[in-house]
Amino acid sequence: MDFRHFYKAFVTTSTGALLCSALSGCVHSELVSDSAKMTQGTGTPVLAAVETVAVGTANLDAADDPEIWADPSDPLRVVIYGTDKKAGLYSYTIDGKVNDFLAVGPMNNVDLRNDALGLPVVVAASDRVGNGVRFFKLDTKTLKTSDWGFAPLATSEAYGFCLGKTTTGDLVTVMIGKNGDVAQATAKVIDGKPVLTETRRFNVGTQSEGCVVDDKTQKLYIAEENVGIWIYSLDPATGSARTALVSLPSEIVKADAEGLTLLRDGDKTFLIASSQGDSAFAVWRIDGAPVYQGRFSVFPGNGIDAVTGTDGVAALGGPVGPYGKGVVVMQDDMDTPGEAPSVVEGRQNFKIVDWKEIEAKLQIK
């Protein structure tokens, strides 16, 4: 079933009738977990400091991808975004409480950039029903987010998504279709609304989602879920040229390779990739030639359950709320109350981990 047709049916049909008639066997692929039902991951144990309120609409929830903003002039003011790929976009406070919810329909991946398109902060997400990019404005005074507009950027199905900035300051959008087809475009504002001008198309190969742009090096990283993580140039003139960061099967990343994010720690830049197959996260230092740093998993502790079946991940270095060196935020596919492990499908939320905890446990220098 095409997801866009499914969603339109979902929002116009009663949940109970739909689940037992329109969905084969009362289960649809978009409503079930990708998790291997693990109770904890296989990486070096770290603990979450905080967890967010779970996403949830009509007794169904599908948390996917987070993003983080901290006020450059007052890093105690923080907004954490989280997509619900069946309902819209959440924003949370640094202590995990819901700050905002925009019921704009299924948003899969979210990203943001400061000082872009004439705004202090631009937030954007892959819109799975519209098959393009949904733009949002963050009001830096109220920390409230508003829908700014939709710009089409059609692929096989709007899925993976990330933003980048060129060396001249242009805002770039990268949309990854579910089948691995990629559309890149430059964003501008016309008559007060965001518009996109396509600059490149290429194909990764098979199903892909996670992506992140390193504005400093002008590199684009894409996770091909069952194949590996690729490094492209952000320059459209380079076409589909790429090199491999890691290829699967691997002891570093277990299929599916999912979310990708960057964390800057002073003059160091780290790439973090979610290894959904064993609920772990791999870390490389990438400000020079990539150097593998190790892998971690979020174990039960501090009254919070383990992160399992993880999908999207985001990071932000430097002061973020009470965390002096930054945080990593990741989706948990099976949230359960307290620390107790469970293989029973639970609601989904996001965990917040202090970067200093990861740095210490992996002995990152």
The pLDDT tens digits along the chain (365 residues) read 455 554 444 443 333 333 333 333 333 344 444 555 678 899 999 999 999 999 986 655 689 999 999 999 999 999 999 999 989 999 999 999 999 999 999 999 999 999 999 999 999 999 999 999 999 999 999 999 999 999 999 999 999 999 999 999 999 999 999 999 999 999 999 999 999 999 999 999 999 999 999 999 999 999 999 999 999 999 999 999 999 999 999 999 999 999 999 999 999 999 999 999 999 999 999 999 999 999 999 999 999 999 999 999 999 999 999 999 999 999 998 888 888 876 565 689 999 999 999 999 999 97
33-361 classified as CATH 2.120.10.30: yes
- Burial class, 36, CB count within 10 angstroms (exposed 0-12 / middle 13-18 / buried 19+): middle
- Tokens 């001008």 label which residue? 197
What is the edge-to-edge ordering of all strands in the sheet holding 119-127?
107-116, 119-127, 132-139, 144-152
Q: Name the phi and psi angles at 7, rounded to 5.
A: -65, -45
First to last CA, the chain: 48
Nearest Cα residue to 93 out of 47, 145, 136, 135: 145
H or E element: which one contains 12? helix 3-12
Is the Cβ–Cβ distance between 312 and 26 less than 8 Å? Answer: no
Residue range(s) in the chain whose domain bears CATH number 2.120.10.30:
33-361
Q: Look at residue 16 in the predicted model and tell me its pLDDT.
A: 33
Please report which residue ranges of 134-190 form alpha helices under DSSP H: none
Q: How many angstroms separate the Cα of 100 from the Cα of each of 51, 79, 143?
A: 16, 10, 9
Q: Look at residue 37 in the predicted model and tell me its pLDDT.
A: 64
Q: Look at residue 26 in the predicted model and tell me its pLDDT.
A: 36
Three-class secondary structure of residue 6 per DSSP: helix
Q: How many angstroms separate the Cα of 280 from the Cα of each of 43, 111, 228?
A: 5, 22, 15
Q: Look at residue 335 in the predicted model and tell me its pLDDT.
A: 87
Q: Look at residue 256 in the predicted model and tell me its pLDDT.
A: 94
